[in-house]
Structure 1
């Protein structure tokens, strides 16, 4: 399944970008985070540090396992120099720290 990608400028400052990735329900949130950060940093996903250095991947996946689109569940954390937010609407938003 393809992941949709949106780049939004924050506050009109072109040097600060926020990127939002909408992922399919079949994709685990932990994998979506790695893909989103890899895309934002223009890095191969296998070259990133392990996600578990930032957050427990199984716990992240479990948190959204039964979440329905439009859910109000949301978690934010730092990973590989980015602020990452995952929400129940199946979106991952990344921005530079």
Structure 2
């Protein structure tokens, strides 16, 4: 497991959602998503339901694998529903969790 950097969080209110920025070379997207969902739910990442209930975490990680070495002019974004939230992750390292 690689060393993880803490996310950079913005100042949005909880009703607007939570947005964090991660370095994909240090944190896998699926881990970043679990941490951001837990932050939105005010709990620990291991307390949330598995991401497998709505998306394949390994496939998601593979989409962004090595993106930092690819052409920065291209952008990739994936959104999905997780319980009562909409989760959006993109190739810049942004993870947003907002009430659905």
Q: Deviations over 1:20-70 (max 9, x none)?
A: 110122100000000000001101111100111110000000000021367
RMSD of aligned residue pairs (Cα, Å): 1.7
Q: Flag structure 2 segments of 5+ consecutive residues without an equivalent.
A: none
| TM-score normalised by structure 2 residue count | 0.83
| Contact 1:5–1:22 (8 Å) recurs in 2 | yes
Q: Flag structure 1 segments of 5+ consecutive residues without an equivalent.
A: 10-14
Give 1:12's aligned residue.
none
More strand by share: 1
Q: How does 1:3-18 map to 2 (within 5 A)?
A: 3-8=7-12, 16-18=15-17
| TM-score normalised by structure 1 residue count | 0.85
Paired residues in the alignment total 92
